[in-house]
């Protein structure tokens, strides 16, 4: 079967750096996506890694290691507006599976 | 562009009633997705279309659920008859052709919060 695991909650301080991990078990792996969702809002696409390595987009970076079936989302210079849930997802040939989400809380 | 448009934003209905959710994708996007999100089951892909044709509907829970896309700018998700366990937020999303749909950026609508009493 297919599954993704990510921590349910993470707390960090404003201005700091936080890493949200995701491990996956899938067949026919294509890549790893990350989405952000604020309370009451819709998911917003953040990144997609098809190849191993780190991809940076502003304050957010995403990493993938296909050999370890592992990836992470790195958020730098945390701002209060980054408080949200973050989902990793594995898109396949005809399906996409989402993790259960990590709720990021940021303290001043 | 206005983004993905969904209606209604909120729907409260009684068990046994028919519910129709509507979606207008972003103009020019070839893929359209219907998702359901609940606390218990998370975000689940129900069905998706490519160029108005259903590609995979294996996520549709049961025969009470049906989806159509009569043209490139409109899709519906229908539940008949509705049950309390169908209560959830239903999202519609669309994506352009380049990435092939599932691996490409998906743009989500604001969702419809459905409550079945």
Residue ranges of chain A whose CB lies within 8 Å of a chain B CB: 30-31, 33, 41-45, 48, 50, 87, 91-96, 98-101
- pLDDT tens sequence across B14-48: 999 999 999 999 999 999 999 999 999 999 999 99
Contact between A50 and B103 using a beta-carbon 8 Å cutoff: yes
Query: A87: pLDDT confidence band, cut at 50, 70 and 90?
Result: very high
φ, ψ dihedrals at A81, nearest 5°: -70, -10
Give me the phi and psi of B22, to 5 degrees please.
-125, 150
- For A90-106, letters b (16+ CB in 10 Å) and e give bbbeebbbbbbbbebeb
The two three-digit tokens of residue B115, written as one number? 């409550």
Is residue B1 very low, low, confident or very high in pLDDT (cuts 50, 70, 90)?
low
> If you average pLDDT over every residue of chain A, what do you get?
94
């Amino acid at each position: 079967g297919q599954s993704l695991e990510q921590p349910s909650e993470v707390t960090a301080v404003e201005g700091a750096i936080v890493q949200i991990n995701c491990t996956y078990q899938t067949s026919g792996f294509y890549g790893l996506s990350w989405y952000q969702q604020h309370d009451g809002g819709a998911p917003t696409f953040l990144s997609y890694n098809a190849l191993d390595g780190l991809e940076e987009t502003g304050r957010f970076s995403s990493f993938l290691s296909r050999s370890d079936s592992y990836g992470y989302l790195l958020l730098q210079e945390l701002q209060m507006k980054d408080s949200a849930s973050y989902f990793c997802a594995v898109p396949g040939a005809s399906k996409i599976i989402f993790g259960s989400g990590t709720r990021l809380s940021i303290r001043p | 562009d206005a983004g993905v448009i969904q209606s209604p934003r909120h729907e409260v209905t009684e068990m046994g009633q028919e519910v129709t959710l509507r979606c207008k994708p972003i103009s020019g996007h070839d893929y359209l997705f219907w998702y359901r999100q609940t606390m218990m089951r998370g975000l689940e892909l129900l069905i998706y279309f490519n160029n108005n044709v259903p590609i995979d509907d294996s996520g549709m829970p049961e025969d009470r659920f049906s989806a159509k896309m009569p043209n490139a700018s409109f899709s519906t998700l229908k539940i008949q008859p509705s049950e309390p366990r169908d209560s959830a937020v239903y999202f519609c999303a669309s994506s352009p052709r380049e990435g092939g749909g599932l691996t490409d950026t998906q743009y989500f609508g604001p969702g419809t919060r459905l409550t079945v009493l």
